[in-house]
Amino acid sequence: MSAVGYFVRGIGLLLCLFHCPFSLYSADSFDFSTVAEKSLSGVVNIRTKLNGKREPLDAHQLYLNGQVTQDVVSNSLGTGIVYDKIMHIVTNYHVIQNAKQIFVLFVNSKKMVQAKLIGIDRVTDLALLRVPPTTDGDPMTFGNSDMVKIGEDLLAIGNPFGYSHTVTKGILSAKGRVIGTGPYDNWLQTDALIYPGNSGGPLVDKRGRVIGLNTKVSRQAVGIGFAIPSSLVREVVEDLKRYGKVIRPWLGITGKDILSLDEVAAPSGVPATSGVIVSNLIIEGPAYKAGLQIGDIITGIDTTPILNKNDLSTCLYTKEPKHKAAVQIFRREKGKITLTFELGEIPKNQEVPKEDDLF
């Protein structure tokens, strides 16, 4: 083919690239405005009446720089997600904490109804509400947060500062983020803007599926927000629906990650370099009865390796109370040991110490 022929073909290809982008890339194209429109009916505004003194200002007072009196019944603003057709609403525990009354506002009908509190889980900062049957809200579909990939486009929907059903866009910045919030420290990080009032709202993928529940923002920088993975939300909600509380197995220990080899160096055998150090034991707890000792290093449960506290909490969450667990440990002077014993059910909060590292 002549040089002129190649030139003509090249020009034709360029024209096709410029004028036919949708035909070339339609497989991956999507419209977030459609996703947002379909999602809004499943997102609700949550308002609470709080009794007390010097409660946080609501959005209206904050905007006007108003003042509140010493004794006040004030409003808290947050977000919730319609979970199912019988109108369970999931939100953050801190949104409804200390509430005297809880109200849910639907976006389409502008109808506000009083909600009943079904159950709370302080450990994961989740709460489940229920409102009378209505067609005002549509249940949202929950996706699998384990399958979402870093870099995927996401929407955050909520009620920041009382601005109802605000939508912001970002990406999934990281998975499995540990930010020091306790044993279930396994956050999704996003740069979709999240503000006060967004708490309890959905983090949505391009198919409109909830892959996280927006909960926290970084105080150090704008554009660093954190969401509870949808897989954890569903597990907690199903327990709250069935029992009114979360049924958790436990070992009856407090533990810490290995920070230095000086903590675990053993005179005999190879020292463990990863795992969870048993820093204390709950008297008459399962681990105490089975013979675990302070200073033991938990390196595995059943077939699951335990590298750190996050691994331990995640592994325990997949078990049931009374499950017979094979707990692999490393003990000074003795090396590797396996203890097999039944996991217990974690007692009520007032019966155990308030430790972030309680397992």
Which residues form the catalytic set?
94, 125, 199
SS3 80: strand
CB-CB contact of 106 with 44 (8 Å):
yes
Tell me how far CA of residue 347 lies from CA of 248, 249, 301, 343, in angstroms: 9, 9, 21, 12
Query: Which residue from 282, 339, 273 is spatially nearest to 306, judged by alpha carbons?
Result: 273
Tell me how far CA of residue 14 lies from CA of 11, 17, 24, 26, 101, in angstroms: 5, 5, 13, 18, 63
Nearby residues of 171 by Cβ (< 8 Å), 6 or more positions away: 150, 151, 152, 153, 154, 190, 191, 192
Query: Which residue from 318, 341, 353, 345 is spatially nearest to 250, judged by alpha carbons?
Result: 345
Round to whole Å and give the CA distance between 2 and 278.
Answer: 78
| CA dihedral (221, 213, 211, 206) positive or negative | negative
